[in-house]
Structure 1
Amino acid sequence: MEVVHTAIAIVLVVGLIIWVKVDPVISLVIASLYLGLAAGVGLADTITAITEGFGSIMAEVGLLIGFGVLIGALLHSLGTFRKLVGVLLRALGAKRLPYALTAALSTVFPSIYVDVQVVLAAPIARSSAPHVGPRGLAHLAGAVGTGIFAGYVFVVPGLAAVSIAGLLDVPLGTWMLYGIVLGPLTALVTTFVFGLMLRAGWWNPETDEAEDDPLATASDLEAGTAGTGPDEDDNLSDVDVPLPVSLLPILVPLLMIAFGAVADVAGFSNSVIAFVGDANVALFVGLLGAYALARGASGLERTEKALKTGFHTTGEILLITGIGGSLGAVIEATGLDGTLAGLFSASEGAAVVTSILLAWVIAAVLHLAIGSVSVAAITAAGIIAPALGSIDVAPIAVGLAIASGSMFSLTVNSNFFWMFKSLMGVTTKGALKSMTTVTAIASLVSLPPVLLIALVA
């Protein structure tokens, strides 16, 4: 029955938010309470799961969100993202921006945790959106979502990719050969398909885009011009900081995190490298740099306004993100993964296609239920690994099928969904029509190549 109750809980969240217009935080708590009590977790254990789920998510990403949003707010006040948009437009043209962004996210940045990626990519996407067209925000939001997760599950050293390879004993070198092709290919094809959907009328800016800009400064809010992109009022005119210098608070943390990840994979990491490469440390270094640039170039008053806006945004995102983690913890407490554990062993010796599809389905169902790509991928790999010896399918193909399925349809029970919604400036409906849609498309787009690999590997 835990499967039924989990499905009801997810539908309850969607229904309360979209149709009853209940705030996402309240909706998520109601769904968490329902699921815990209906699935037999118990009164005390349900509350424990909710509080511990909130706390564990905050311990994992709380500082990352805070530091990242503050960096974005400070750089926004310096006009950094408008300058970057200008360079991208001159170099690539508006129509190529979504593809350039998704290609970069799926190849260059998988070493960076997904929450950090969306914090850093969202301001660029939002600033670029007016130049792409009337559906620019939607197309760029889809590009960000699919680029992040295609890299995360397919490209080493993405956490999900490395975890699956390790659990299935697939050499990382072998995984890299397949993943570095499949990841960006999935991202680019998905971005193209999503663009076709947008041109066919999939997106309605009036209902799918939020009116407020989470990175708007206080002066924007007072003037009623928040979120107007490069044509914002004169109070936000660019200060005289060269673009390469103003990008350092982003680039330096990325390099620090990437260096730590590469060192860990290559086996030459130590305590100093691990400290330097820690995402929390790296983003704090970036925050110090952004603060120093803002204070030196624009003065204390403008810097304090930017920080005030950043703190306001951080509080909203942290609360929604934490409650999303609570729902995931309650789902885990129901023991849903145990219900699925026997399915794969029941098909030992099945045909190649059947085995790949079953691996994909197990990962997809786990993701829909738990709301975490990494947890779904790791759990599915743990369930399937014992049966690999009885299945005449290459482990790399099974692993890629798990990766593909674990992306499927990221939705309201994911803390990332709520981060994405807030940072990208879309409504809950807009997040469902962008983030949820592109991850479903990406999962389906990547499945045929995985089947082909299984047949020839």
Structure 2
Amino acid sequence: MDNPAPLVHTAIAIAAVVVLILKAKVNPALALVLGAVYLGLAGGLGAERTLKTVNKGFGDLMAEVGLLIVLGVLLGTLLSALGAIDKLVTLLLRTLGPKRLPYSFAITMGTVLQSIFADVLLVMTAPLARSLGTRIGPGGLARMAAAMALGVEVGIALSVPGIGALALAGLLDIPLGIMLLYGFPLAAVTILLTLLLFSALVKRGFWNPDRDESAVAEGEAVVEGGAAVEGGAGFHDGAVAHDGAAARGDATAHGGAGMSGDAAVGEGGAGHAGAGVGDAVAADGDAGTARGDGTAPPLGLSLTPLLLALVLIATGAFAQVAGWDSPVVGFLGDPVVGLLTGLILACLVARRRLPAGAVGEAFGQGFRTSGQILVLTGVGGSLAAVVEAVGLGDLIKDSFSAGTWAPLALVWLIAAVLHMAIGSVTTSAITAAGILAPVAPSLDVQPVLIALAAGAGSLFAIHATSNTFWLLQTLLGQTTRGTLKTVTLTVSGASVIALGLIQTVSLVM
């Protein structure tokens, strides 16, 4: 290692970002920008080139995934307003029965429903999951809680249109259709295997209802010890009601916006007067109130826009893999066209079946959500661009062999360490992938595998810094001890299982 300076400065920059977020309560977006500026200056880029690189990294990633994120969030918000989730869970229960429900529930959340914002998805499905948990036998609550944790987190990191998967695809210049073809089945198999293992543990006495479940009054979820939002800030004396509204009006976040840290700028706090999780989901609840008038469309019609978008994107990916060069297929299979087509169809359905103003309210919530996601994703691209510019990729290239296992294990490890420190799935995955992105073309590794390894690593050790952790504890009536089992242990297991599957795939590619 002739010149370790890039590695040293990158480590300092990442450590500084962590300290700024956790200790100084600096907004993660600002912390990432400051880290990128420091790295550029310390790495010898100079002031002018550093600023240009920061801007270019932001702009390049937004050019890749910015419009996709906006279209995906808007489509998910309309699906929420159309009441698709309740009907889908009812169909799964009726078709597959209660014993298979946790598996179908988790896989559906981790794949098809990933266009719906994570916090909204959790709050909308939690009452259903809790009531169904009593119908699937002993340990039912534990299995449903694990299913929700796996569905939300694994889907975000690995499955298009999950926010993390979109960002990783854009950062590593991976066609979104290819990311869908690899990530979709990987997410489903990972969720299935992990939940099978967790269910086996539950059957052997791993779950103790007396110690792992908390007594919660009907219609109210009490936070045990104060629920922390991603990045370490917590609620004080507040509670989150099942309908998504803040209970008693005093659930104010101490450290910033309480949107899911996996996709929101508020993970970690933007000052002491931020909005809490209840505020985030209450806004969506307003957009979805139109469901109560009895005119909501049937499930097939509600899900058709999303399914159409996924089919178009997958068709484009298959055509690319098969070498089928058709202008029509290339146009229709473009991810932007696919999501735009689905969004237009969703708007037509909503305008015909929901009261006047419902679509506008849903779009307003969608724009607020996507704006936060875009900022955090973009500044993650800025840091990755500076990492490339200071030459860390060349150092890694010289230090590791071109064998398949080393880069994938390294990117998984980097993402895992970053997630344990910061608590953000998306930020840790983007940063880890960005470190190896410069050398990806020169290694005997498919870029899509690097992206998936980063996503898998970012799932490791989800704990008290994660908003998902506290939402699942609160909404499903678990103790902290129980939530450590259903969220931390389970999703960490999924992280390791996913890495094993990725490594296996790499041996035959």
**Is TM-score (shorter-chain normalized) higher than 0.5?**
yes
- CA offset at residue 186 of structure 1? 3.7
CA distance in 2, matches of 1:71, 1:454: 33
The DSSP-based 3-state class of the residue aligned with 2:128 is helix
The DSSP-based 3-state class of the residue aligned with 1:4 is helix
Check whether the contact 2:59–2:378 (CA below 8 A) recurs between aligned residues: yes
Check whether the contact 1:360–1:401 (CA below 8 A) recurs between aligned residues: yes
- CA offset at residue 51 of structure 1? 0.8
Of residues 121, 126, 132 in structure 2, which corresponds to 1:129? 126
CA offset digits 1:205-243 (Å, max 9, x no partner): 822579899x989xxx9xx78748999996541533111
Check whether the contact 1:263–1:269 (CA below 8 A) recurs between aligned residues: yes
CA offset digits 1:142-192 (Å, max 9, x no partner): 33433565668xxxxx9999xx9x9xxxxx9xxx9x999977544433456
Of residues 286, 294, 299 in structure 2, which corresponds to 1:243? 299
Structure 2: segments with no counterpart, 5+ residues:
131-140, 161-165, 213-222, 246-274, 419-427, 461-465, 473-484
Check whether the contact 1:147–1:187 (CA below 8 A) recurs between aligned residues: no
* AA matched with 2:458: L
- CA offset at residue 34 of structure 1? 1.9
CA pair 260-304 structure 1, distance change in 2 beyond 3 A: same
Check whether the contact 2:61–2:378 (CA below 8 A) recurs between aligned residues: yes
CA distance in 2, matches of 1:73, 1:332: 36
- CA offset at residue 271 of structure 1? 1.4
CA pair 35-365 structure 1, distance change in 2 beyond 3 A: farther
CA pair 253-264 structure 1, distance change in 2 beyond 3 A: same
Aligned length: 398
Query: What is residue 220 of structure 2 aligned with on the other side?
Result: none
How large is the RMSD of aligned CA atoms in angstroms?
Answer: 5.3
1:310 paired to 2:366? yes
Aligned ranges for residues 48-447 of structure 1 at < 5 Å? Answer: 48-92=52-96, 99-100=103-104, 103=107, 118-120=114-116, 122=118, 124=121, 126-133=123-130, 139-147=147-155, 184-191=188-195, 206-208=227-229, 227=281, 236-237=291-292, 239-345=295-401, 358-364=406-412, 371=430, 381-385=440-444, 405-410=453-458, 441-446=493-498
CA offset digits 1:16-36 (Å, max 9, x no partner): 223322222222222222222
Query: What is residue 136 of structure 2 aligned with on the other side?
Result: none
Length-normalised TM-score, structure 2: 0.61
CA pair 234-304 structure 1, distance change in 2 beyond 3 A: closer
The DSSP-based 3-state class of the residue aligned with 1:22 is coil
CA pair 310-399 structure 1, distance change in 2 beyond 3 A: closer
CA distance in 2, matches of 1:267, 1:282: 20
1:15 paired to 2:74? no
The DSSP-based 3-state class of the residue aligned with 1:326 is helix
Check whether the contact 2:198–2:490 (CA below 8 A) recurs between aligned residues: yes
- CA offset at residue 83 of structure 1? 2.0
Check whether the contact 2:106–2:147 (CA below 8 A) recurs between aligned residues: no
* AA matched with 1:146: V
- CA offset at residue 280 of structure 1? 0.6
- 62-71 or 376-385: which moved more? 376-385
CA distance in 1, matches of 2:85, 2:371: 23
Check whether the contact 1:404–1:443 (CA below 8 A) recurs between aligned residues: no
CA distance in 2, matches of 1:260, 1:65: 19
- CA offset at residue 406 of structure 1? 4.2
Check whether the contact 2:388–2:438 (CA below 8 A) recurs between aligned residues: no
CA pair 340-69 structure 1, distance change in 2 beyond 3 A: same
* AA matched with 1:143: G
- CA offset at residue 194 of structure 1? 7.6
* AA matched with 1:246: S
- CA offset at residue 451 of structure 1? 7.8
Structure 1: segments with no counterpart, 5+ residues:
110-116, 153-157, 167-171, 349-354, 386-394, 413-419, 427-432
Check whether the contact 2:433–2:450 (CA below 8 A) recurs between aligned residues: no
CA pair 148-67 structure 1, distance change in 2 beyond 3 A: closer
* AA matched with 2:312: M
Length-normalised TM-score, structure 1: 0.67
CA pair 15-236 structure 1, distance change in 2 beyond 3 A: farther
* AA matched with 1:59: A
Check whether the contact 2:77–2:116 (CA below 8 A) recurs between aligned residues: no
- CA offset at residue 263 of structure 1? 1.2
